[in-house]
Structure 1
Amino acid sequence: MAINNVNNGLPKAPVDNNKVNSQQQVKSNQTAAQQAAASAAQASTAPRQDSVSLTQSAQQLNQVQKKSADVPVNQEKVDKLKKAIQSGEYKVDPQSLAKKIARLESEIFGMKS
């Protein structure tokens, strides 16, 4: 299939090599500038730092653990309790235990029981 009337029958305009070269050079310079800017941005960007934040409950638990490490231990009482538990003589009063747990939680978390 033939195409007729290319350029509306007018003669083809001569190519201005100087104009083409300058356009290519401008485009090349722009590309080089973009690449340089991209690599500079990557180089200047500081590496991301990891961070950790603890909830208020975790901070309180940490404080309780630090305080408990400083409390003296009555080793004689601990040994008696161990012996009673191992021999099966130690009996737990569930109501008394529940009251003590509730009181401890209220002290730790600042609630009234």
Structure 2
Amino acid sequence: MKTATNFSVGVKERAVRLVREHQDEYESQWAVICSVAMKIGCAAETLRRWVRQAECDHGERAGLTSAERERIKALEREVRELRQANEILRKASAYFAQAALDRPSKR
């Protein structure tokens, strides 16, 4: 199995720009994507996803922009952390409440 290669933002932007610039020279967008992907050394499907995301970012296609995706990820991370904190507090509260009940009363 091939390991993932991280491409820089500049390479991604250049590849998407190449697809857009040469789109009229090919019979389909997929043909352009395959050609450019081969030249930059990435999978055609990867480049197709970059192109689709760029279209969303520029408002040419319906979907979430990159900024919206990042915001959602951050919010989901925050929710996960808050739920963990609430669970810890709930367990601590139950532990101390039980300890208070087990303690003999001072009368």
Q: TM-score, normalised by structure 1?
A: 0.29
Select the structure of larger CA radius of gyration. Answer: 1
**Which structure has greater helix proportion?**
2
Indicate the structure whose relative CO is greater, using CA pairs within 8 Å and at least 6 residues apart. 1
